[in-house]
Amino acid sequence: MNAVSRRKFLASTAAATAVAATPGCVTAAVRARAIGANDRLRIGLIGSGSRGVGAHMTSVKKFAKEMNVEFSAVCDPWRLARENAAAKAKEWFGRDPKQFVSYRDLLAFDEIDAVMIASPDHVHTTHLEAVAKAGKHVYVEKPMATEFDRLVRAVDAVKASGVVCQVGTQIRSLPSMVGARDLVRSGIFGTITRVEEVRNAERPYWYSYLKDARAEDVAWDEFLADRPRRPFRADIFTGWYGYYDFSQGPVPGLGSHYIDLVHSMTGAKTPESCVCLGGTFYWKDAHKFTAPDQCQALWTYPEGFLVSYVTNFGSSAGNLKRLYGDKGMLKFDNWSAPTYSAEGGPKRDGSIRGENEVKPTEHPDHWLDWLQCIRNGGTPNAPIEAGFQHAVAVLMAMKSYETGRKVVYDAKTRTMRTA
């Protein structure tokens, strides 16, 4: 080895050692080696409500024996939710998990290798950044952010840490949707001109979350986080999806899945502009919900197509999901059974005949994919970059909704502004 090569070797070795020794800067490979195939993978849950228990814990439970997994800690500001999650963890995984009110205490607990974030939308980035800096693998719910600056900070923290991060846009991992992605990317639809979703309901989804809760059972300040102080209200605490301070309504709440599918199927990354209008037009009652019950967002993409999202929470009629090309159309109204045809394509050439079922492409379950990647150091199907991309799109929409102006995004500088 010559002197120059030796210097380069020593420099690269020193740099790698420094990264490995820096808290919160552990590479994915190092983390994967630390959690070998025979080691128990210990998970902490931040947010122990219906999503945390009903989706995260329940989905992981299916693979607990195969992947050697347990929940060793649960965290929630509501005593009832903590205790329910702890009881389920003991029933399903065989031992009592630690219970915490604050995510800070959970992250200080030594017996955790990975964390699942199922907390309210307004604290997703707070929890994601903290988990990444603690060097824990992470699964984070969508939408990833309610503020753009915090999104950038959290994403950068995940990338610096090297942990395995799976974003909770699980629809992209359905074999039917992977098959749709493969079909779209084959070019069979020709030039894509427009993608649209209309997702309606008779009433907003946040009404179904309303429950009784007592102030003495809730760490109210922990829930509020950085939001303005206010007296405890059970409807705000349990129905937070309906209050703009905590969740910005159906574009981020429902549209994030759809936008993520647009990106997954087309290969597009971020929009270049967006306009969005909406408001609370129909559901006005004693709860005084502030998230819009009507909204419409339009995005333009540099690849040359328009994307539309519409919600009407005053009627369940008219739902659809379509991708239009000049040679045909994909219908994915039913995520599990998409179909395609040449209908409407001005350049249809006979290559598509009749209405056809999309052939599924086998793919691991979304939660299993995350667990496998923790074991093997791989990249999950919805990595942090995908989460950033859907978050940029919905945050553009909400900025337009708030200002009444068109919003443009510069992908090179990661900045958005009103036009």
Identical fold for domains 3-170 and 172-363+384-418, yes or no, is: no
State the amino acid at position 359 in one-letter form: K
280 near 312, Cβ under 8 Å? no
pLDDT in tens, 123-160: 999 999 999 999 999 999 999 999 999 999 999 999 99
User: Alpha carbon 61 to chain centroid distance?
Assistant: 20
- At residue 359, φ and ψ (nearest 5 deg) are -75, 125
Q: What is the pLDDT of residue 36?
A: 66
Answer for the pair 23, 95: CB distance below 8 angstroms, yes or no. Answer: no
How many Å apart are CA 150 and CA 146, to the nearest integer? 8
Whether pLDDT at 207 is above 50: yes
Residue 13 pLDDT > 50:
no
Decide: residue 300, CB within 10 A, 0-12 exposed, 13-18 middle, 19+ buried: middle
Rounded Cα gap, residues 352 and 211, in angstroms: 50
Instruction: Please check the confidence at residue 163 and state whether its pLDDT lies above 60.
Output: yes
- Those residues whose C-beta lies under 8 Å from the C-beta of residue 240, and which sit 6 or more positions away, are 120, 206, 209, 246, 247
Q: Are 391 and 270 in contact (CB under 8 A)?
A: no
Would the pLDDT of 71 be above 90?
yes
Tell which wins on pLDDT, 366 or 34: 366
How high is the pLDDT of residue 35?
72
CATH code for the part of the protein at 172-363+384-418: 3.30.360.10
Q: pTM for this structure?
A: 0.91
Helix extents (H) in 172-294 = 175-185, 220-224, 234-238, 250-253, 255-266
3-170 has which fold? Rossmann fold (3.40.50)
Whole-angstrom CA distances from 282 to 206, 245, 288, 314 are 14, 20, 11, 6
Q: CB–CB of 255/175 below 8 Å?
A: no
pLDDT tens profile 17-69: 333 333 334 444 444 444 766 799 999 999 999 999 999 999 999 999 999 99
Say if residue 6's pLDDT is above 50. Answer: no
Q: Is the pLDDT of residue 371 over 60?
A: yes
Integer CA distances (angstroms), 310 to 28, 160, 195, in order: 39, 36, 12
Is the preceding peptide bond at 143 cis, omega within 30 degrees of 0? yes
pLDDT at 22: 34
Separation CA 139–CA 54 (nearest Å)? 15
The H-or-E segment that residue 236 falls in is helix 234-238
The residue-averaged pLDDT of 365-389 equals 97
**Has residue 11 got a pLDDT over 50?**
no
Query: CA torsion sign, 318 to 263 to 141 to 71?
Result: positive
pLDDT at 12 over 50: no
| Residue 18: per-residue pLDDT | 36
Name the CA dihedral angle for 89, 91, 97, 103, rounded to a multiple of 10 degrees.
20
Count Cα neighbours of 394 within 13 Å in the Cβ-side half-sphere.
31
Computed over every residue of the chain, the mean pLDDT equals 92
Average pLDDT over residues 201-215: 98
Q: Which amino acid is at 215?
A: A
Q: What DSSP string describes 276-337?
A: EEEE--S--STT---S-SEEEEEEEETTTEEEEEEEETTB----EEEEEESS-EEE-SSTTS
Nearest to 56 by CA among 43, 67, 68: 43
In this structure, the chain runs to a length of 419
Task: Give the mean pLDDT of 181-209.
Answer: 98
Domain boundaries, the chain: 3-170, 172-363+384-418
Residue 66: both structure tokens together: 């195969």
pLDDT at 240 over 80: yes
CB 225 within 8 Å of CB 122 = yes
Residue 104 half-sphere exposure, CB side, CA atoms within 13 Å?
Answer: 3
Q: What is the pLDDT of residues 290-321, one digit of tens each?
A: 999 999 999 999 999 999 999 999 999 999 99
Is residue 351 scored above 60 in pLDDT? yes
For residues 73 and 97, the answer to whether their CB atoms sit within 8 Å is: yes
pLDDT at residue 373 tops 70: yes
260 pLDDT more than 50: yes
pLDDT, residue 295, reads 98
Tokens representing 402? 């708030």
